[in-house]
Amino acid sequence: MWTLTPALTVSYEVKCAFLFLSVLEFAVGILANAFIFLVNFWDMVKRQPLSNCDLVLLCLSVTRLFLHGLLFLNAIQLTLFQQTKTPLSYSYQIIIVLWMITNQASLWMATCLSLLYCSKIVRFSHTLLLFLASWISRKVPQMLLGASLFSCICSVLCLWDFFNRSHFTATALLFMNNNNTGLDLQIAKLDFFYPFVFCNLVSIPPFLFFLVSSGVLIVSLGRHMRTMKSQTRDSCDPSLEAHIRALKSLVSFLCFYVVSFCAALTSVPLLMLCHNKIGVMVCVGTMAACPSGHAAVLISSNAKLRRAVETVLLWAQSNLKVKTDHKADPRTLC
C-alpha cells in the first residue's frame, strides 16, 4: 500500500529557499495589488468619480493585500515555529482561519466583478434578464456592501465557533491532565476542522454565481462570433474586445482560484495527518502565487491601469536618464 512518508525534519537549505520564495511572492503580490488600490484611491482623493469596475477592483485589491499578508505570516509560522511532530499551534490555527475568511471575501469581490462584466457586456433579450442586468449595473455599491456584510457575519460565526472549541479543548485537556497525548492531538485537530468546513460551505454560493455569470459571458461570446461571421464585420469589433478582456480576467481568476483551493485542500491532510512539512510548503507557495498572478492579469486587461503603468515606467525612465546625463556631464565632476 502506498503511503506518504512523514517529513518531520526539513533541511536548512529548503527552509531558506522557501522563505526566499515567500518573500518574493509577498513583494510581487503587495506591489501589484497596492498599485491597483493606489491608482483608484488617488482618483477618489482627487474627487474624480470612480466607475463601478474601478470600485470593485479597489475592494478586491484590499482583500488581496490582507490575503498576501496572512499567507506571508503563514509561511513564517510554518518555517520557523510550527513543528510537525506536535499539534497545530494556536497562533498557526488563527492565521489559517483568518486566511480562509479573507479568501472567502476575495471570492465575493471577484463574483461582483463577474456579475458586473456580465451585466455590461452581454446583450439580453428576455425582459427579466434585462431588468437584472440593469439592476446590477445600478446597485454595484450596494452589492459590495452586502458582500462585505455577509463576509463579516460569516467571519464572526467562524471565529466564534473556533474560539469556543479552542476554549473547550483547553478545559478538556486540563481535566485529562495530559495523560493521553493521542487523544489530545485528535481534539486539537477538531478545533481547526469545523471552521475549515464552514468556510468552504459558505464559499459555495459566490462560486456558483461566478460560474453562472462567466458561463453566460462565454455563451454570449460564441453567439457574437457567429453573428460576426454571418455579417462579415470588421475584426476590430469593440464588443468582441470587451468580451475577450472580461473573459481573460474571469477565466484566469477561475483557474487561479481552483489551483489555490486544491492546494489548500491538499495541505490539510499533509499537515494534520501525514505531517509532511515540505508538501505543505509547496501548497502554501502555490496559494501565494495565485492572487499575484491574477493581479497581473487584471492590470494587463484594464485600460486605466495599463495607462498608469506606462506613466510610472515613463517617469522612471526619465529619472534614470537625468541621473545618467548628470553623471556623464564632465562639469559635474569638478
Amino acid at 234: D
The pLDDT tens digits of the residues spanning 205-239 come to: 888 998 888 888 887 777 767 766 666 555 556 66
The pLDDT tens digits of the residues spanning 185-212 come to: 454 555 667 777 888 888 888 889 988 8
pTM: 0.82
CA distance readout (Å), 32 to 3, 64, 300: 40, 10, 11
Could you give the dihedral angle defined by the CA atoms of residues 199, 200, 201 and 204, in that order, rounded to the nearest 10 degrees? 120
Confidence of residue 3 (pLDDT cuts 50, 70, 90): very low
Confidence of residue 7 (pLDDT cuts 50, 70, 90): very low
The pLDDT tens digits of the residues spanning 101-158 come to: 899 899 999 999 888 888 887 776 677 777 887 888 888 889 999 989 988 888 888 8
Q: Does residue 151 lie in a domain region? A: yes
Rounded-to-integer distance, Cα 318 and Cα 334, Å: 24
Q: Does residue 184 lie in a domain region? A: yes
Is there a contact between 78 and 92 (Cβ–Cβ < 8 Å)? yes
Q: Does residue 5 lie in a domain region? A: no
Q: What is the CATH number of the domain that holds 60?
A: 1.20.1070.10
The reported pLDDT for the residue numbered 238 is 67
* C-alpha grid cell, residue 329: 556631464
Q: Does residue 325 lie in a domain region? A: no
The reported pLDDT for the residue numbered 121 is 76
Tell me the mean pLDDT in the region 253-259: 89
Tell me the mean pLDDT in the region 254-264: 89
Q: Which of 84-93, 153-162, 179-188 has the highest mean pLDDT?
A: 153-162
The pLDDT tens digits of the residues spanning 10-61 come to: 777 888 888 899 999 999 999 999 999 999 998 888 888 888 888 999 999 9
Tell me the mean pLDDT in the region 163-185: 54
Q: Does residue 327 lie in a domain region? A: no
Q: Does residue 7 lie in a domain region? A: no
Q: Does residue 4 lie in a domain region? A: no
CA distance readout (Å), 227 to 221, 223, 240, 241, 311: 10, 6, 11, 15, 38
Is there a contact between 185 and 87 (Cβ–Cβ < 8 Å)? yes
Whether residue 167 is predicted with pLDDT greater than 80 in this model: the reply is: no
Tell me the mean pLDDT in the region 160-188: 56
Roughly what angle, to the nearest 10 degrees, separates helices 140-176 and 127-138? Answer: 70
Rounded-to-integer distance, Cα 250 and Cα 301, Å: 11
The reported pLDDT for the residue numbered 168 is 52
Tell me the mean pLDDT in the region 241-263: 83
Rounded-to-integer distance, Cα 168 and Cα 176, Å: 12
Q: What's the total number of domains in the chain?
A: 1
Whether residue 9 is predicted with pLDDT greater than 70 in this model: the reply is: no
Rounded-to-integer distance, Cα 153 and Cα 204, Å: 16
Residue 86: give the domain boundaries. Answer: 12-313
Q: Does residue 318 lie in a domain region? A: no
Whether residue 93 is predicted with pLDDT greater than 90 in this model: the reply is: no
Sign of the Cα torsion 219, 220, 224, 225 reads negative
